[in-house]
Every structure is written in structure tokens, then in C-alpha cells.
């Protein structure tokens, strides 16, 4: 007899296969949340879901604008008659997954959640680890993820055919987040990746295993360990903001990782050969953009705006010091305070697109 509520941490259970085949796992009378865009690319999706006689099928259009209270309300309305033992299934990218996770947590104080990630980013990152959130708009400004929950999915279905409709930039985004985990957490695997580029399926499997191992040790983000998943995100968020979100999150994180390597080298934490090899691998293997993109973005950026962005990111301390993930070796990391002076010293080189 288990006394764990639905959504409590349990190790991830992944099922691989086509959606048509895996859909037989869905109990009848479930509630489905589906990305409308995905159903257009994959016409077999809705009939397969409908065959399971869901009590509600809520379609939302994926994208950051889906992460509103209005979407959440739609999903909750669809789930009104769902019993606590019922299942909510989310078929979509990170935005739909995030909304569905919150809904699963709230409905009947917690129902079963099944995640079917349809973007690579969702497959390697957001559909695993229990987090879900919606955004708030305050005085016309979107605040990301202020209202969130932990609610672990009971299972995830990885359906590789669904990734066929992703754009090159969407694939790169997922690959960058996957490489991030390998670089920080698994040296031998990183060296294997260097010798031979992984297939997409291999990369998803490896990234999910690595993220799962971190979540198993810190399921509710209490020990600080999950912080490693933020490698590259400190300056990544700055660059994402500077581009007014024209740069994808993944591309921004990729450039942010290069910044983190520079900071690590400057502090003597990241050995020079490690930084060099990782930069090379990120450029070639994961498709991280060139430093000239960082330069182009920073050209227009007054330093004061950057300081503000970093402070808003809640990673900065009182004296402007940052808590950053730095590599200590291949597959090993340390989370460390970085003074404002340290990164300001690197700024002029970043602004010229050079390796400091
Ligand atoms: N919960 C977490 O731990 C976590 C972690 C990382 C990111 N996130 C969140 O994830 C979100 C980003 O995720 P995302 O990049 O998947 O975004 P998304 O859900 O907006 O998907 C991106 C775009 O791709 C479309 N799409 C989805 N699947 C597709 C497919 N198979 N073929 C073609 N198009 C498809 C969507 O309709 C959307 O337009 C952000 O809101 C972020 O905050 C959450
Ligand atoms: Zn990220």
C-alpha cells in the first residue's frame, strides 16, 4: 500500500514507441491536453486519442502564450468530472506540459499525469523532473513561471515519429540542453559523443537518464543539486532578453555556456584544455552559434541593463555576485559565487566576439 499522493516523486517510467501503439496504455475516460499545432502535423494523433474515449480533449496552441491562467482554466474545466484516480495526458512541448502539470496537481488535489513530449526540448528536459508552471502578466509584462508546482508524471511516452515535424532550430535547442547535461555530468559519455555523434534517440535517452539521476537526488529542489541544470543559463537568460526573445532559449543557453566556460577559466576553476574541448564540441556537436552572435547582441546592451537583468534573474546576491555552475573537469561541476568584477572583466572581449 502506497501513501504517496499522485505526483509525488517516483523514478521516471519511459515508454518508447509510436503514439498509435502507446495510446492503448491510456485508460478510457482520461482527459487529454493536446497541442493543436502538433495535431496538424500528425493527423493520426486525434483519432488515436479519441479511440480511448477521453472525457475531455482540450486543444491549446503551443507557445509561451499558452502558459496562462486562461489555458489552465480550460484544462481544469475539462477535468471537472475526472476522479482522483483518473489520468491527465499532455501531448505537446514544454509549454503544454507545464500547464498540464499544474492542472494535474490541482485537479482533485492531484491526478495521474502522463507526458508525451513533442519537442526535443520537452523530451530531454521539461517533461522530466516534475516542474510545471504558468506565467503572469503584470502591467503588460510577462513574468515567467511565478505560479508553479512539483507534480511528477507517472509515465512518459517518447514517440520519435512526432519529432519529424520539428524545425532545425527546434532540434538544435533540444540538442544543446542535452549536451549541457552530458558535459556537466558524464565525462566518459562526453568523450564517446566526441568520437561519434549520438543519434537523436541516443541523445534523448542519455539526457533523460542524467536528468533523472539529478532529480532522484533532489526531487523538490532543496539540496541545490538541481542547480547544475542551469549551466549556461545565467548569461543565457541575459542574451535571450537582449534579443527580445528572437534568439531561441536553446541558442541563448548555448552562448551562455561559452560565457560560463570563460568565467570558469578566469577563476582557474575550469582547466584550459577542458574549456577548449567543450567549446569545440558544443560548436560542432550541438550546433552552438558563434561568439559573433554574442557580440551582436551585446553591442546594443548597456551594462546597466545587464546588471538589472541578472538581478531580476534572482541569481545575483546583494553585491552583484552571481551563483554560477562552472565546470571543474569533463563531466564534473561546481556551483560557485562569481563576483561582478569577474564577469565585467570578460565583458569587453565578449562584446567583440572574442574568447577572453
Ligand atoms: N518544467 C520544466 O522543468 C521546464 C524545463 C525547461 C523548459 N520549460 C518550459 O518549456 C517551455 C518551452 O518548451 P518548448 O520549446 O517545447 O515550447 P513549446 O511548447 O512552445 O513548443 C515550441 C513550438 O513548437 C510547436 N511544436 C510542438 N511540438 C511540435 C512538433 N512535434 N512539430 C512541430 N511543432 C511542434 C509548438 O506548437 C510551439 O509552437 C517554456 O515555457 C519553458 O519555461 C519547463
Ligand atoms: Zn533551459
Judged on CB neighbours under 10 Å (0-12, 13-18, 19+), 181 is buried
Counting atoms of ligand 1 from 1, which one is nearest the CA of 250? 15
Q: Which fold has domain 14-165?
A: Rossmann fold (3.40.50)
Counting atoms of ligand 1 from 1, which one is nearest the CA of 165? 32
d(CA 30, CA 112): 10
d(CA 155, CA 144): 26
Contact 176, 251 (CB under 8 A): yes
Counting atoms of ligand 1 from 1, which one is nearest the CA of 61? 37
Q: List residues bridging with 183 in a β-sheet.
A: none
What is the per-residue pLDDT for 278?
97
Q: Which protein residue has the closest C-alpha to ligand 1 atom 25?
A: 62
Per-residue cell: 198? 549520438
Ligand 1 contact, 121 CB (< 6 A)? yes
What is the per-residue pLDDT for 308?
82
d(CA 50, CA 14): 22
Ligand 1 contact, 98 CB (< 6 A)? yes
Residues of the chain with CATH 1.20.1090.10: 169-351
Ligand 2 centroid, distance to 260 Cα (angstroms):
14
Ligand 1 contact, 96 CB (< 6 A)? yes
Q: Which protein residue has the closest C-alpha to ligand 1 atom 9?
A: 94
d(CA 33, CA 67): 13
Mutation probe of ligand 1 site: the residue of 34, 63, 95 with most atoms within 8 A of C-beta: 95
Q: Is the pLDDT of residue 137 over 80?
A: yes
Residue 133 sits at the vertex; the CA angle it makes with 30 and 13, to the nearest 5 degrees, is 50
Share of the chain above pLDDT 90, in %: 90
Ligand 2 centroid, distance to 112 Cα (angstroms):
25
Counting atoms of ligand 1 from 1, which one is nearest the CA of 128? 3
Judged on CB neighbours under 10 Å (0-12, 13-18, 19+), 81 is exposed
Ligand 1 contact, 135 CB (< 6 A)? no
Contact 269, 334 (CB under 8 A): yes
What is the per-residue pLDDT for 154?
97
Cα–Cα distances in Å, from 260 out to 9, 35, 79, 199, 228? 31, 34, 43, 27, 12
How confident is the model over 98-102, as a mean pLDDT? 98
pTM score = 0.96
Ligand 1 contact, 247 CB (< 6 A)? no
Question: Which residue bears the cell 548597456?
Answer: 302
Ligand 1 contact, 165 CB (< 6 A)? yes
Ligand 1 contact, 131 CB (< 6 A)? yes
Q: Is the pLDDT of residue 301 over 90?
A: no
Q: Which protein residue has the closest C-alpha to ligand 1 atom 34?
A: 166
Ligand 1 contact, 162 CB (< 6 A)? yes
Per-residue cell: 21? 501503439
Q: Is the pLDDT of residue 16 over 70?
A: yes
pLDDT digits (tens, 9 = 90+) for 205-248: 999 999 999 999 999 999 999 999 999 999 999 999 899 889 99
Contact 159, 116 (CB under 8 A): yes
Q: Is the pLDDT of residue 309 over 90?
A: no
Work out the mean pLDDT of the chain and round it to a whole number: 95
Counting atoms of ligand 1 from 1, which one is nearest the CA of 120? 16
Contact 75, 99 (CB under 8 A): yes
What is the per-residue pLDDT for 52?
98
Q: Which of 347, 294, 336, 338 is nearest to 319 (CA)?
A: 338
Residues of the chain with CATH 3.40.50.1970: 14-165
What is the per-residue pLDDT for 314?
62
Contact 218, 129 (CB under 8 A): no
Other C-beta atoms lying within 10 Å of the C-beta of residue 161:
12
d(CA 322, CA 331): 22
In a 3-state reduction of DSSP, which class is residue 81? Answer: coil
Which CATH number does 169-351 carry? 1.20.1090.10
Q: Over the range 119-140, which residues count as b (16 or more CB within 10 Å of their CB) and which as e?
A: bbbbbbbbbbbbbbbbbeeeee
Residues recorded for the chain? 356
Q: Is the pLDDT of residue 263 over 70?
A: yes
Per-residue cell: 196? 561519434
Q: Which protein residue has the closest C-alpha to ligand 1 atom 27?
A: 93
Question: Which residue bears the cell 488535489?
Answer: 109
d(CA 126, CA 112): 17
Other C-beta atoms lying within 10 Å of the C-beta of residue 182:
25
Contact 256, 235 (CB under 8 A): yes
What is the per-residue pLDDT for 316?
65
Q: Is the pLDDT of residue 1 over 70?
A: no
Ligand 1 centroid, distance to 160 Cα (angstroms):
16
Q: Kindly write down the DSSP assignment for every residue of 258-296, as one continuous string.
A: HHHHHHHHHTT-S-HHHHHHHHHHIIIII-PPPHHHHHH
First-to-last C-alpha distance (Å) of the chain:
58
Q: Which protein residue has the closest C-alpha to ligand 1 atom 3?
A: 126
Amino acid at each position: 500500500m502506497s501513501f504517496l499522493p499522485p505526483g509525488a516523486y517516483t523514478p521516471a517510467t519511459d515508454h518508447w514507441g509510436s503514439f498509435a501503439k502507446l495510446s492503448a496504455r491510456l485508460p478510457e475516460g482520461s482527459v487529454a491536453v493536446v497541442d493543436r499545432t502538433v495535431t496538424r502535423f500528425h493527423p493520426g494523433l486525434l483519432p488515436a486519442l479519441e479511440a480511448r474515449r477521453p472525457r475531455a480533449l482540450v486543444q491549446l496552441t503551443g507557445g509561451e502564450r499558452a502558459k496562462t491562467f486562461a489555458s489552465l482554466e480550460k484544462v481544469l474545466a475539462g477535468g471537472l468530472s475526472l476522479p482522483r484516480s483518473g489520468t491527465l495526458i499532455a501531448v505537446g512541448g514544454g509549454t503544454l506540459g507545464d500547464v498540464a502539470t499544474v492542472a494535474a496537481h490541482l485537479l482533485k488535489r492531484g491526478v495521474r499525469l502522463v507526458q508525451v513530449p513533442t519537442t526535443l526540448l520537452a523530451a530531454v528536459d521539461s517533461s522530466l523532473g516534475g516542474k510545471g508552471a504558468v506565467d503572469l502578466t503584470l502591467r503588460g509584462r510577462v513574468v515567467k513561471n511565478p505560479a508553479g508546482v512539483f507534480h511528477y508524471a507517472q509515465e512518459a511516452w517518447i514517440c520519435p515519429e512526432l519529432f519529424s515535424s520539428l524545425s532545425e532550430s527546434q532540434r538544435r535547442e533540444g540538442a544543446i540542453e542535452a549536451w549541457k547535461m552530458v558535459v556537466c555530468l558524464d565525462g566518459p559519455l562526453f568523450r564517446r559523443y566526441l568520437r561519434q555523434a549520438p543519434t537523436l534517440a541516443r541523445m534523448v535517452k542519455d539526457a533523460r537518464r542524467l536528468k533523472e539521476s539529478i532529480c532522484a537526488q533532489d526531487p523538490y529542489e532543496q539540496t541545490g543539486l538541481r542547480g547544475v541544470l542551469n549551466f549556461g543559463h545565467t548569461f543565457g537568460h541575459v542574451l535571450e532578453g537582449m534579443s527580445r526573445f528572437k534568439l531561441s532559449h536553446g541558442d541563448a543557453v548555448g552562448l551562455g555556456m561559452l560565457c560560463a566556460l570563460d568565467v570558469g577559466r578566469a577563476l582557474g576553476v575550469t582547466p584550459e584544455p577542458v574549456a577548449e574541448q567543450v567549446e569545440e564540441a558544443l560548436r560542432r556537436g550541438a550546433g552552438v552559434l558563434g561568439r559573433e552572435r554574442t557580440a551582436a547582441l551585446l553591442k546594443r546592451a548597456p551594462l546597466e541593463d545587464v546588471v538589472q537583468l541578472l538581478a531580476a534573474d534572482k541569481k545575483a546576491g546583494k553585491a552583484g555576485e552571481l551563483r554560477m555552475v562552472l565546470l571543474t573537469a569533463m563531466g564534473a561541476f561546481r556551483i560557485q559565487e562569481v563576483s561582478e568584477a569577474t564577469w565585467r572583466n570578460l565583458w569587453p572581449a565578449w562584446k567583440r566576439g572574442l574568447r577572453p
